[in-house]
A and B are shown apart, each in its own frame.
Chain A
């Protein structure tokens, strides 16, 4: 299947710093990418939908100034957690939709720990 690369896989940072997570579709173009947050033993929680060349669409309750999303090319979307705080600690996962057949492929996830 298609490959979605996400990195870093793990990041530990101090409170108040910003963290950028990258999501790349390696062998297909993805006009739409999605960002999720997942707490232990819980399902995926959609944060935002990222469309290439336009502003992201955020789900209700997700602060767009806190979670900055950029989808500058057909193969790359980034999520920046600005001024991270301990409550932002979570597992973040991206996914990319293969437009030719509607299949959705996920990155391997990023574990963010804010101290």
Chain B
């Protein structure tokens, strides 16, 4: 079983839709959770960073962590064509290696 599982998609939504991206993990020792956005031929950009269960909001983005279910989500409200990218979840145990999901490819259609 992989440490982190993420549906690769692709996911295609109309502009303005709410997007839900998800990852599950198997190791309860993970404490820090991140979401990255990667445009084609660019390095991943850190979008959200959380370390506790619950929701964290930043503009149109909401990161949700459920440690009891080992499940994290990223919600994008009012999706825009510029949100079209690959979204990677990542998590870490303190002082240890990062574990990444495989990434979900998102296309927002105008």
In B96-110, the 8 Å CB interface with A consists of 97-98, 100-103, 105
The 8 Å CB contact of A106, one of B36, B41, B49, is: B36
Min C-beta distance of B85 to chain A, whole Å: 13
- Which of A93, A104, A108, A111 is close to B34, meaning CB atoms less than 8 Å apart? A104
Give Cα A31–Cα B105 distance, bound, in whole angstroms: 32
Interface of A is mostly: strand
Query: Cβ of B44: which chain A residues have Cβ within 8 Å of it?
Result: 44, 93, 95, 106
Docked pose: A61 CA to B42 CA in angstroms: 25
Q: Classify the secondary structure of B's interface with A.
A: strand
Question: How far does the alpha carbon of A108 sit from the alpha carbon of B42 in the complex, in Å?
Answer: 5
* Docked pose: A49 CA to B97 CA in angstroms: 9
How many chain A residues touch B (Cβ–Cβ < 8 Å)? 23
* CB-nearest residue of chain B to A1: B46
A residues less than 8 Å from B34 (CB atoms):
103-104
CB <8 Å contact, B94 and A103: no
B-binding residues in A (CB < 8 A): 1, 4, 6, 34, 41, 43-44, 46, 49, 91, 93, 95, 97, 101-109, 111
User: B residues bordering A, Cβ < 8 Å?
Assistant: 32, 34, 36, 41-46, 49, 88, 90, 92, 94, 97-98, 100-103, 105
Q: List 5 A-B contacts (CB under 8 A).
A: A43-B102, A97-B98, A102-B92, A104-B98, A106-B43
